[in-house]
Structure 1
């Protein structure tokens, strides 16, 4: 008989999530004594402690941390496999879980999801932004089925397809001196408060492709999660931001903000949809990619 079974991985995950045997037992529909017995038996069979007790909470040992990582990686894959097989057995289409690594793409996504729901009524759609392992890890870990990202990481087992082109621009308020400029140079941002989404600097194009190559950093960097608040801050002279041109042109009139090209040649970008190679021929996933590509001319600013 195998030492490790699926229930052991589930126990490890639930104890870590809830921090106590009582809460984990309730989640697993077990008595606390039965859960304690299973844990002791597992540790005896493995010959190593999985948890240590600190007060009323359980914390994983080094071996427990490793086993927890295995559980977090394998359990979603098993759940996904069982769900997919159930769908085959019952003739269902399935569930499309979309992960977002592109903060300003929600409005674009809504314009794809709305007709998609009409065209594929037997497909359930879920949109997620937070992942346990990041976007690429979420694909490999079966947390999501499709990743929306402007920065694909090409890895064996994954495929990425561009669905539209756009231009990243500087966004300035109605009284900003750069409002009518044809383009902006990096040193013109050195005294600005730069407002961005809460993303690591090394994944922000205005830094990696515009400011950092010129050795320039803004006076202040202010992360803001909500697009509307970001545009309000810019409109009221509290800073400048970097967003796709199509978004600024769509919402600029509402907030009184304007786009300015980053450098003489601009910063050209693409949005990609990524999925696992094994899923790329699923009809309902393929249909979503094709619908997204059909919308690109209406949503994207052509690169020049």
Structure 2
């Protein structure tokens, strides 16, 4: 059977089924009832089968009608979605933005940025992927992401990169840890501590390892975890000394369940920024997202400075 679908017929068919009557379907489609009846009659003739049982007070689907309805609804949904996407493309230049960010930023920074972004671009759908920055940058190179917020790896050029924020890591310990009352003992007792540090193969882990090498190494083998919340909890319980950014533990430091101890010079400093494709300039939507990230990082810096 050679059948060329007519979208008006399919919409009429779906409307009649969902509304339960030709009158309500016509009202929904802003056409006359006779136009709906004609569309359904023509559709049944073309398909050479009966789609609706009109014998009762409400129309009912036949077996053939159930099969067609299932396919029709999917087709109409995709066409409507395409129309919305094209409308958004005409208005904003982009209907989807794919963002990569580390888990820590997905918890502490990205939600506030997304809230503002949705208010500005309600028709643009943000897609967030959490992971290590180096992995996300590979996906950016493969054009699988539009933007990546993360730590700048050593040796990476500034092409397609915008600096946002610089932070310094700190030791976080239980309120009962000896360092709380005697910070002068930090270097003298360094090798005696059980450190809890972030996952291997990350920029943060590499920076921590380099700092220990400069200070002559450490004694105990560190606990290596891929979850900042777990690092904080173990430090709170006195399992060891966590190494995190103060903004990650701001709530616990404020309520006194954790104490921050400054890491002796040269310290462990990290640079955060936003990466985009170096082959093109960011779109209007991407520029807006970058601007919101800049504002969020600035607010974070202000809060930490108080």
| TM-score interval, normalised by the smaller of the two chains | 0.5 to 0.7
The equivalent residue for 2:243 is: 242
TM-score computed with the length of structure 2 as normaliser: 0.61
Structure 2 matches for 1:1-304, cutoff 5 A? Answer: 91=90, 93-101=94-102, 103=104, 106-130=107-131, 134-152=135-153, 158-182=159-183, 185=186, 188-200=189-201, 203-204=204-205, 207-254=208-255, 256-264=257-265, 266-300=267-301
How far apart are residue 260 of structure 1 and its match?
Answer: 1.0
Mapped partners of 2:202, 2:216: distance in 1:
14
Q: Is the 1:186–1:216 contact (alpha carbons within 8 Å) kept by the matching residues of 2?
A: no
| Counterpart Cα distance in 1 of 2:124 and 2:185 | 45
CA contact (8 A) 2:133 2:148 kept: no
For the aligned residue pairs, the C-alpha RMSD in angstroms reads 3.3
In proportion to residue count, which structure has more strand? 1
Paired residues of 1:96 and 1:285 also in contact (CA < 8 A): yes
Q: Which has the larger radius of gyration?
A: 2
* 1:154 Cα deviation from its structure 2 partner: 5.9
Structure 2 unmatched ranges of 5 or more:
1-81
Q: Per the alignment, do residues 243 and 231 of structure 1 end up closer, same or farther by CA in structure 2, a change over 3 Å counting?
A: same
Cα shift at 1:205: 5.3
Structure 1 alignment gaps of length 5 or more: 1-82
* Corresponding residue pairs, total: 219
Residue 193 (structure 1) shift: 1.9
Contact 2:151-2:203 within 8 A present in 1 as well = no
Instruction: Provide TM-score, normalisation by structure 1.
Output: 0.61
